[in-house]
Structure 1
């Protein structure tokens, strides 16, 4: 991904942090060779996260990335509601398989991340709103499970979905969210931790240079 990104991670004590980490780093990579006869996928290990925006230039946060991250006018943690919908197979390396997330609960946080991170520090402008609408129409907010180059067919997707649900991740199926009462039942989380991550480096080097708890 170009330049630097802002990620939202589940709180470190939330059960989903451990469940998603295990899925990404162990459970799903163990299944990948069984899901593809074309090639064996090499697993990529990364922290469980929802990308709020990429394309942040290093000049935006300058020599003190922590001070910059701390200055952003993020909404209060209880206003940030990550709610899972369904598992999706994509056609882009970093979106090969992911859990789609409802946009309503993260729109405000993403608006600030994009507006201050990419609009040259001038905050939320019309182009930020345009980006949010385009994001929603496209792949939208999501939590990646698999990075890779080999396509995942419908049978493999069904199997992966079962494994994800067996790990304790509750999916609403993309409905209104009424089935997911709160973030404590595996259907998502409230608040979380924001990482500022230089994602123009190799995946193994995707580490935060600033961290902020909501």
Structure 2
């Protein structure tokens, strides 16, 4: 990804943080060892939803934490990440080889804020603004999502079904009645609030993508 990025992670105490971390780092790579790309060694990245990429490092200069703290982030109860089925999805895009789609409406505000401050010069998000136009394109061009696996080849229908079953067995709810016969209230559908990371995604190898600043929504 060019430049730096802003990620939204589940709160560290939320069950999804541990569940997604295990799926990403061990369960899914062991299912298909050949899936690991040369660019992912080890095949691990923190569980997250990307709010925006393309942030110039010159914007935060030598004080990334100060810059991140200056953004007027919404309160935790105003941010809801909710998964959207059916099932896990796969596309012919390296960062969307295997992912869970996220419902747009609940993350539109925080993603727009991230884009406005990180890329578009702190503009007001109003009809006709660059950020408003980006938000209109975002669902089609990027697809709000939580990645589970990176790679150069999309998953086959058979493998995708197998991955979906493993994700649901881990306790993540992707549909009202999951493929294992579970009922709607028995799985975790998403998270509220979270932690925003500023990550230099443009220059480092994926295994080195660590936060250079973080801000917990409160």
TM norm. shorter chain > 0.5: yes
Provide the residue aligned with 1:32 in structure 2: 32
How do 1:120-139 and structure 2 match up within 5 A?
120-124=121-125, 126-139=129-142
Counterpart contact for 1:116–1:123, Cα < 8 Å: no
2:4–2:56 CA contact under 8 A, matched in 1: yes
Residue number in structure 2 paired with 1:77: 76
Q: Does the 8 Å CA contact 2:175/2:184 hold for their aligned counterparts?
A: yes
Q: Residue 81 of structure 2 contacts residue 192 of structure 2 at CA under 8 Å; is this kept in 1?
A: yes
Match among 197, 200, 215 for residue 198 of structure 1: 200
Residue of 163, 167, 170 corresponding to 1:164: 167
Q: Distance in 2 between matches of 1:62 and 1:7?
A: 19
- SS for the counterpart of 2:58 is helix
Indicate the SS of the match to 2:66. helix
Moved more, 20-29 or 112-121: 112-121
* 8 Å Cα contact 2:2-2:53 kept in structure 1: yes
**Structure 1: gaps of 5 or more residues:** 34-39, 174-178
The Cα shift of 1:73 comes to 1.2
Cα drift, residue 140 of structure 1: 1.9
Is residue 125–residue 131 contact of structure 2 (8 Å, CA) maintained in 1? yes
Distance 2:154 2:144 in 1: 21
Secondary structure of the residue that 1:209 maps to in structure 2? strand
Report how far residue 127 of structure 1 moved.
Answer: 0.9
Tell me the distance in 2 between the aligned counterparts of 1:22 and 1:55.
28
8 Å CA contact 2:98–2:154 kept in 1: the answer is no
Distance in 2, Cα, partners of 1:105 & 1:172: 18
Normalised to the residue count of structure 1, the TM-score between the two structures is 0.89
Displacement of 1:153: 1.2
Give the counterpart of 2:146 among 129, 143, 161: 143
Structure 2 vs 1, CA of residues 180 and 113 (structure 1 numbering), >3 Å: closer, same or farther? farther
Q: Decide whether the 8 Å contact of 1:60 with 1:120 is kept in 2.
A: no
SS in 1 for 2:19: helix
Q: Does 2:14 correspond to 1:14?
A: yes
Deviates more, 1:134-143 or 1:105-114: 134-143
> 1:24 and 1:69 mapped to 2: Cα distance?
27
The alpha carbon displacement at 1:76 in A equals: 1.1
| TM-score where L is the length of structure 2 | 0.87
